[in-house]
Structure 1
Amino acid sequence: MFWKYLLFELKLLLSNRKNWLLGLALLLYFPLYFLIYSQNEFETLKEKKKEEAVGFDTIFFNFPDTLRETPEGKEIYNNFTEQVSLINMQRFFLTRSEDDQYIDNGLKLNELRLHIHGVGNKGVPSHLVVPKVEIFKEDALLSYNKKHQLPLQPDPFVASNYMPVALNEISGLIFCLFVLIAGSGMLAHEQQNRSVVSGFPISVMKKINGKVFIYFIQIYLFLIFGLLLGGIYVSQKTGIGDFTSPVLLFQNGDFIAVSTIRYLAYMLVALALITLLLLYGTALLNLLIKNVYATVLILIVVFFLPDLLDTTGIKTTLLHPIKYIEIGAVFSGNLAEVFGNDKLDYKHAFVWLIALNLIVLAILYGRNKLMHMRKADTSIKLI
């Protein structure tokens, strides 16, 4: 009987024009976004290193004489001298395509920069201070490239480098709205046509699980096919690229570099957990308030609640797990920077997304059990 019910719901879903329109928009997003992305101009390593070398002219010119005469000042000045020497060597190695030497000098440069951070960046104009975050990012990329013998600066417009950017761009509020609007009417037909649905002697939880299953499959197929369509389109335009090239992941205050294929796998698993969470959350609110528009509005308010409280100065650490829905910002470390919480990383995101799904499921099962108990009590009283 459950499979008959599932087939019945599948037919209703396939006749839902709203979801097909949303799906079409998602399918077209990935190839169309490339038209915007391809207009970006990326700084080359040669340009970056030249700018860094020029910056040291300003540092040396403005370095206080009084500080230079102290033992600490001499150490800092010598550190800067060694830094600019390493940068110039990197520029030389770039002209000769000697990647290994470039990377070795880059790793030494990052050590010197971190040492300067340890003494408070004394004598350095604030606009020329290299943030620790940028040092950690570059260190992770250099170490990964050295280990896997990859090009230092691959073409950013090939499919392998475009797909993580496009997927990251749509994650967060856009994907959240897509799932909420697509799944908002899950229980609408059942609430409006109880006589039809009552012909299936199935428990409420089985019906909810069945609905979530088919809605999840439809949404996720749209996402997968859209990503593949975008990848195929871009690969025909610029090339497929290398899916072993590195992408950065934020991890507990630091950054690690992983392959593109691994990053995409992490992102797709995270989006799957987010989709399930939003669908089960939608089902729960539909049962409680029985209003499609109110359901979507409440979930959007919940999504922004940590941000709203944070702007008022109220600490929202307990609400931070809600923001794991904004998975792209979690992976990039932007969310941790905004809320000042290094625990907002990809590992904690997976743990919390699984936990939140289990919590919502537990509430649904608990409500279902309570309703059965009330019906049983009512039947006993009538007897």
Structure 2
Amino acid sequence: MNFLVNAVPSESLQLPGFDDLDREWLRARSSVKWHRPGPDVLPAWVADMDFPVPPAVTDALRDAVERRDLGYPDWPAGSPLRTAFARRMADRYGWAAEADRVREQTDLIQCLQLVLHLATSPGDAVAVQTPNYPPFLATLSTMGRPAVPVPMLDTDQGWRMDFAALDAAVTRAGCKVLVLVNPHNPTGRVLTRAELEDLAAIARRHDLLVISDEIHAELVYSPHRHIPFASLSADAARRTVTLTSAGKAFNLAAIRCAVTHYGPDRLLALRDAQPPDLYGTVSPLGVVATEAAWRDGDAWQRDLLTVLDRNRHRVEQVLRTRLPQLRHHTPEATYLAWIDARLLRLEEPPVDRVRKAGGVLLDGGTPFGPGAADFLRLNFATSHAVLEDILSGLTRALAASGQ
């Protein structure tokens, strides 16, 4: 099945490969986003994009398969991703990350779980921004590491971190670890250098290990700029473990490939003392795809950001004009909109209302942490036409509420 429709130029079809998606192709795929909701519901929930992967990635994977290059890789010093990651950090952010401190894993959540396993013990408290990515919060619960929530502040200028609350929470709970998500999922906030330096001062004062999830770093909208936490100073570098992947920025979740950059010497030594295959080994095809994305995918990514930038402003426009009872800040990064529906005072979770009355599946609610019960997360990484139908369903479900 073709993944594109035969499009004619129109206002709603602006970029080939992004705005001319075939919904039959989307529904025919086995990935969870479109498969699980069923044929009568439009999905805007799980954080996958609807767009085909970059041609450079497709070409690289096809070439590897056609060459029958599927044997054991010869990587005595680690995969080529170690050097590729260091090069990309230097080129993009001016961060001199050390390639020999990079280790490969199959998934970002696995990266987090391994670091927590090595650096903490059951009962150790972990500070975390809330709302937060549900699998991170679920990981802390399952591993017996009590989450110490530090709520993000909703201000007239957008979402902000409460550094006084963080300092107090770390002191009260005796935290030794902070899980930092920057750019932030789900609010889309990008921390400034001044904010990161305030956070670094707290980390230094309390001797915190900072596990920094930076998977959305390449999905930042101008004039905002991502700054790797480990790049702030020598002290920040020594206490930070950086987690990332090409999965979000190039729509490659299924390749199961992520990297961890270990700043602390002791933690890196602990990692390398583990049996080599105990936590799995990354697929060579995942390495091929990630290398291709980082090496040859920038032109595709520029088009992607053009589409996502347009879509985030369209979401903001519709919410402001059709659903003014909802509170929302245009995200500075990611393709996720975090929407406050508390003023509606619904008798059911907003996610349920939107699905039943609007035919649209969003994410949100209590899995995102304390205080998130009446929030919605909308994934706008789709074509103009699909997004319009998603927003129409959202409006249909909520426009008459709270009036």
* Shorter-chain TM-score above 0.5: no
Name whichever structure is richer in helix by fraction: 1
The alignment's TM-score, normalised by the length of structure 2, stands at 0.21
